[in-house]
Amino acid sequence: MTTIAEQRFPGVPESAAAARRFVAGRVTETGLAHVAALVVDELACNAIRHSRSGWPGGTFTVCVEVAEAWLRIDVADQGGAGTPRVRQLSLDTDGGRGLSIVDALAAEWGVGSHRRGLLVWARCDGTPAPCGQPPAPTGAQVAVAP
């Protein structure tokens, strides 16, 4: 069974935190809440920064669909000049890595059209974890000196 929730936010920087809370609050069962918060943060910030959603009075809409071991996040904006794409940047370039992060975290992501804007979506897979806990680490632990 999946659950779906949707909410519209004003296109202002403060809405990134509201979108993170909205999504993370709905995915605790999957253990993917932290990943979901990162993904929606990037997509919401892009809607605000790169589309008319960030213009005065603009809005964007977040939809989150949650299943047992995966979730999908959609962010619909009000359209802009650019196209969402992973930028190829040198290691010396600051910024511009939001969609690279989404690409690394998501099993799959893409872009569609939505009314007069874009809908950027990402699907993340995970293993169910105890409520509110991040998934158990799978790699080697790194010791940190005191």
Ligand X SMILES: Nc1ncnc2c1ncn2[C@@H]1O[C@H](COP(=O)(O)OP(=O)(O)O)[C@@H](O)[C@H]1O
Binding window for ligand X (CB under 6 A); candidates: 3-11, 31-39, 97-105, 126-134: 97-105
Q: Which is nearer to ligand X, 26 or 52 (CB)?
A: 52
From Mg ion, ligand X, none, which one binds at residue 27 (CB under 5 to 8 Å depending on kind)?
none
| Calpha distance 145→55 (Å, rounded) | 47
Q: Which two tokens stand for residue 61?
A: 């809409």
Q: Interface with ligand X includes 78 (CB under 6 A)?
A: no
Residue type at 30? T
SS3 string, 56-102, reads CCCEEEEEEEECCCEEEEEEECCCCCCCCCCCCCCCCCCCCCHHHHH
φ/ψ bin of 115: left (φ > 0), alpha (ψ from -120 to 50), beta (otherwise)? left
Binding window for ligand X (CB under 6 A); candidates: 11-19, 22-30, 40-48, 122-130: 40-48
Q: Interface with ligand X includes 97 (CB under 6 A)?
A: yes
Return residues touching Mg ion (CB under 5 A). 46, 98
Return residues touching ligand X (CB under 6 A). 42, 46-47, 49-51, 77, 80, 82-85, 87, 95-100, 118, 120
